[in-house]
Amino acid sequence: MKNMKEKKLNGTVIVTYRCNARCTMCNRYKCPSKPEEEISIETIKKLPKMYFTNITGGEPFIREDLQDVVEELYKKSDRIVISTNGFFTDRIIAMAKRFPNIGIRISIEGLEDTNNEIRGLKDGYKRGYETLKKLKEMGMKDVGFGMTVQDKNAPDLVPLYNISNEMDMEFATASLHNSFYFVEAKNIIHDRPMVAQNFENLVNELLNSKSPKKWFRAYFNHGLINYVYGQKRLLPCDMAFDTFFIDPYGDVMPCNGTKDKEVMGNLNECATWEELWNSAQAEEVRFKVRHCDRQCWMIGSVSPAMHKYIWKPAWWVLTHKLKFWTNKKYSMYENKIVRDLRDGKVTKEELDKCSTCDMNCVANNGLSEASKEQLKNKSGEEIVDADIEKQMNKKD
Ligand code: SF4
Ligand code: SF4
């Protein structure tokens, strides 16, 4: 742990487990945290210096004190990006006015009908789209879409990318994952070749652009094809070494991809960050990360790896740009496993077994005992809906 004190980390702060959406690929909305238990400014003060901080949830803008959280995090972060479902337009705009250098990613799961079907938010697409447009008109630079690709929305991948381009915005992709964080164990891609074909189209669009950043995004999406086929990650996973997640209860974790919550320590209970980060418990979790077989490919764990092992994506970009100049496009069949499925050397069922999908598993939700207690009499949806209504009435 030499030089750990001076080293800046990559951190994700899950400010709440409350969420007002009803996404088909995530059950977090059924398992909210209790507001009074959610990470306090006092705990945030103990976080280390970070070169990048992602603020997420649940839906982070449900927290009425989110601006205070951001103010505190700005004291220790070089860059902050908030991931949101885009529902609380006024709060997002107010945040952007106060912190114009902040990044905002709004999750949009496809074109209008597809998005609204997957996300289950009334007028979700319109609200998200209008919010993004307003942010852009305000002159914000770090604004973009985030899309989680599944069978239902894969055909919308390139059309949505084109919209983001027209609006001069970032376009972040992901695919289905299972974990305690999503309170989900049954997510799976069924038609892998169709989904891969849509990723292939996107990779070629990205490689064809003039932006080096997009060429590296092409590599990330190439890695998503590999992930969808259940293969070994293209880059090592170093979560918990220079990257961490902290949840609403102050539990510090390596990532959000584990089946059950893996806790390195609780920051509410530890006097300092160093005490937690250098503890035996944290070391145990690092050992588990080293032996983890879940092969996630989410930007949170891949982006630090792409920086650390830069030569690998850089070589891929270089060879594919060279190919492009000789009119040879990227093909999903560059991945052996994609050829093997096409050629009948492996079956769909065999690939299903390589995924993290477990139809018999009851997903652990990672909630505190008090948060679980409140679910005995009411559903998570009822609790959060009442909570939001109260917030809105207060405002009027
Ligand atoms: S994916 Fe995000 S917006 Fe959708 S239910 Fe889960 S936490 Fe909420
Ligand atoms: S592969 Fe990495 S990000 Fe995924 S669960 Fe394992 S340790 Fe976490």
The string of pLDDT tens digits covering residues 280-299 is 999 999 999 999 999 999 99
Spatial neighbors of 368 by CB under 8 A, at least 6 apart, are 33, 34, 37, 249
Is 356 near ligand 2, meaning CB less than 6 Å away? no
Q: Which of 86, 35, 95, 34 is nearest to 68 (CA)?
A: 95
Closest C-alpha to ligand 1, atom 2: 58
Say how far apart CA 116 and CA 121 lie, in whole Å. 6
- Judge contact between 51 and 80, C-beta under 8 A: no
pLDDT in tens, 308-320: 999 999 999 999 9
15, 22, 29: residue to mutate for ligand 1 pocket, most atoms within 8 A of CB: 29
**How far from chain centre, in Å, is Cα 341?**
28
Q: Is the pLDDT of residue 3 over 50?
A: no
pLDDT in tens, 356-395: 988 888 888 999 999 999 999 999 999 999 999 999 988 6
3-state secondary structure of 373: helix
233, 288, 294: residue to mutate for ligand 2 pocket, most atoms within 8 A of CB: 294
For the residues 50-57, what does the mean pLDDT come to?
Answer: 96
Burial class (CB in 10 A: 0-12, 13-18, 19+), 1: exposed
Alpha carbon of 295 to ligand 2 centroid (Å): 6
**How far from chain centre, in Å, is Cα 105?**
10
Q: Ligand 1: which atom is nearest the Cα of residue 85?
A: 3
Q: Which of 158, 144, 160 is nearest to 200 (CA)?
A: 158
Q: Ligand 2: which atom is nearest the Cα of residue 298?
A: 3
For the residues 31-49, what does the mean pLDDT come to?
Answer: 97
Alpha carbon of 98 to ligand 2 centroid (Å): 35
- Judge contact between 9 and 49, C-beta under 8 A: yes
Say how far apart CA 24 and CA 120 lie, in whole Å. 8
Task: Find the angle CA(327)-CA(331)-CA(332) to the nearest 5 degrees.
Answer: 170
CA atoms within 13 A on the CB side of 392: 8
Is 47 near ligand 2, meaning CB less than 6 Å away? no
The helix or strand, by DSSP H or E, that contains position 303, with its residue range, turns out to be helix 299-308
At 50, the amino acid letter reads M
Q: Is the pLDDT of residue 6 over 80?
A: no
pLDDT in tens, 320-333: 999 988 889 999 99
Alpha carbon of 355 to ligand 2 centroid (Å): 13
Q: Which of 261, 259, 255 is nearest to 186 (CA)?
A: 259
Q: Which of 380, 332, 43 is nearest to 197 (CA)?
A: 332
Say how far apart CA 224 and CA 230 lie, in whole Å. 10
187 φ, ψ (degrees, to nearest 5): -70, 135
Q: What is the pLDDT of residue 246?
A: 98
Is 255 near ligand 2, meaning CB less than 6 Å away? yes
Q: Is the pLDDT of residue 396 over 60?
A: no
Say how far apart CA 350 and CA 154 lie, in whole Å. 22
CA atoms within 13 A on the CB side of 375: 17
Q: Dump the DSSP string for 136-158.
A: HHTT-SSEEEEEEE-TTTGGGHH
The helix or strand, by DSSP H or E, that contains position 253, with its residue range, turns out to be strand 251-253
Q: What is the pLDDT of residue 30?
A: 96
Q: Ligand 1: which atom is nearest the Cα of residue 182?
A: 6
Is 300 near ligand 2, meaning CB less than 6 Å away? no
Closest C-alpha to ligand 1, atom 7: 58
Alpha carbon of 180 to ligand 2 centroid (Å): 12
Say how far apart CA 172 and CA 170 lie, in whole Å. 7
Q: Share the mean pLDDT of the chain.
A: 94
Sort residue 230 into left (φ over 0), alpha (ψ -120 to 50) or beta.
left
Q: Which of 283, 254, 264, 282 is nearest to 179 (CA)?
A: 254
Is 286 near ligand 2, meaning CB less than 6 Å away? no
For the residues 14-19, what does the mean pLDDT come to?
Answer: 98
- Any idea which ligand is nearest the CA of 384? 1
- Distance spanning both ends of the chain, measured CA to CA: 52
pLDDT in tens, 154-206: 999 999 999 999 999 999 999 999 999 999 999 999 999 999 999 999 999 99
Q: Is the pLDDT of residue 17 over 90?
A: yes
